Amino acid sequence: MTTRSNEAWLADLRADGERRNAALEDLRTIIHKGLPYALSRWLPPTQPQFEALVEEVIQETLLRVLDQLDTFEGRSQFTTWVHKIAVRIALTELRRKRWRDSSLDELSENEETPPPPGLLADSTAGPDVSAERTDMLARVRRVIEEELTERQRQALILLGVQNMPMEDAARKLQTNRNALYKLLHDARLRLRTRLALEDISPQEVLALFEQQ
């Protein structure tokens, strides 16, 4: 694994091709090494669900880091900053019930696919809230259909809806893991930009589906 300065991390992750891939692989190794100790008080590594959580957290952390490179201010080591992001994501995942985690990935289903369990069929939600949820889901689906390429939609569905492991999704799409990270990164940027133009914020989507 290559030892890098803060500046080198930023330069490598902003580069293309093998240089970027190597930096992502090194970050993956660093995150995987640090999470067992950081999470030991909440979820021991001996628990069967630990490795699945770690893989999910690593995937999300790398995407988050790529999204937020410009926000790194250099007040700490780059790897320390990344580690803090990973721990925050892991603790958030541990707190949430999975069916309540209605991320944009989970809203990227085809029209024929039913929503995640409990998302729209919440027995405690009134008719007005249910109608809002149905409308919001339709709007987000339309944005995804119009804005993303077919390959980006496939990646979102495989990883976000079907919860397919990264390696399996990469194999199904006949690509590699790092290229898949880039595909998801670009898809999220396009979604964020289009949702902003539609005057829809991700927070608004999440808040609506968390209403009782």
What CATH number is associated with residue 21?
A: 1.10.1740
Looking at the fold, whether 90 and 155 belong to one and the same domain comes out as: no
Is residue 198 a part of any domain in this protein? Answer: yes
Q: Percent of the chain beyond pLDDT 90?
A: 17
Mean pLDDT of the chain: 76
Q: What is the pLDDT of residue 145?
A: 83
The pLDDT tens digits for 102-133 are: 343 443 343 333 333 333 334 444 555 566 66
The secondary structure of residue 42, as a DSSP letter, is T
Rounded-to-integer distance, Cα 204 and Cα 176, Å: 33
The answer to whether residue 76 sits within a structural domain is: yes
> How far is residue 138's CA from residue 107's CA, in Å, rounded to a whole number?
9
State residue 160's pLDDT score.
66
Tell me: pLDDT of 202 over 70. Answer: no
Please check whether residues 91 and 131 belong to one and the same domain: no
pLDDT at 68 over 80: yes
Distance CA 101, CA 210 (A): 9
Same domain, yes or no: 11 and 90: yes
- How far is residue 193 from each of residues 60, 71, 199, measured CA to CA in Å? 19, 18, 10
**Residue 9: pLDDT above 90?**
yes
**Residues 146 and 79 placed together within one structural domain of the fold:** no
User: What's the whole-number mean pLDDT along residues 159-187?
Assistant: 82
Residue whose tokens read 């991390």: 9
Residue 121 lies in a domain: no
pLDDT for res 20: 92
> Which is more confident, 118 or 157?
157
**Position 103 in a domain:** no
Model confidence at 172, pLDDT cuts 50, 70, 90, reads confident
Domain that holds residue 81: 6-95
Q: How many domains does the chain contain in total?
A: 2
Q: Considering 95, 115, 145, which residue would you say is the last residue of a domain?
A: 95
Q: Where are the alpha helices (DSSP H) in 40-126?
A: 50-67, 78-95
Mean pLDDT over residues 162-167, rounded?
A: 74
For residue 127, give Cα distances in angstroms to 89, 122, 149, 200, 209: 33, 10, 34, 22, 13
